Amino acid sequence: MPINFDSAIGIHADALRVRSQRAELLATNMANADTPNYKAQDIDFREALNNAMTGSAPGQLNTTNQKHYSTNPESNGLMGPIQYRVATQDSLDGNSVDEEVEQAQFMQNAVQYQASLQFLGGKFNSLTRALKGE
């Protein structure tokens, strides 16, 4: 009986990929905290994970002709559509990054990334023990 790794490891591989993409966006926000008119970006984890599990791209439409425009050029290969964070305090230079909010979001994402990584490691350990007959 062949082993189906997709069903064996569950959603954890997709969760790691989405969490990694979110970490990149949050790090970009923190790096641009002093950039005038920069707007803080994020993705909705649940929607992105759902897109990753179903294999669909965000906002993707079926095209019937090569001359059709792509539907979401901003996504840059992300699993979920880019969302812009609403500024909690007005800024003179138009920047919407709140460093404390971004750091908190980044740390929460990092903890959840580690949790997914540990779950995935546990799944692989279980598979290894099963293959060894332990």
pLDDT in tens, the chain (134 residues): 566 766 667 788 888 989 999 999 999 999 999 999 999 999 998 888 888 878 765 555 566 777 765 554 444 556 678 889 888 887 889 899 999 999 999 999 999 999 999 988 888 888 889 888 87
Whose CA is closest to 80, among 52, 56, 59, 58? 58
Please state, in angstroms and rounded to a whole number, the distance separating the CA atoms of residues 86 and 89: 9
Q: Which domain holds residue 81?
A: 5-132
Beta bridge partners of 42: 83
Query: Looking at the 3D structure of the chain, how many domains does it have?
Result: 1
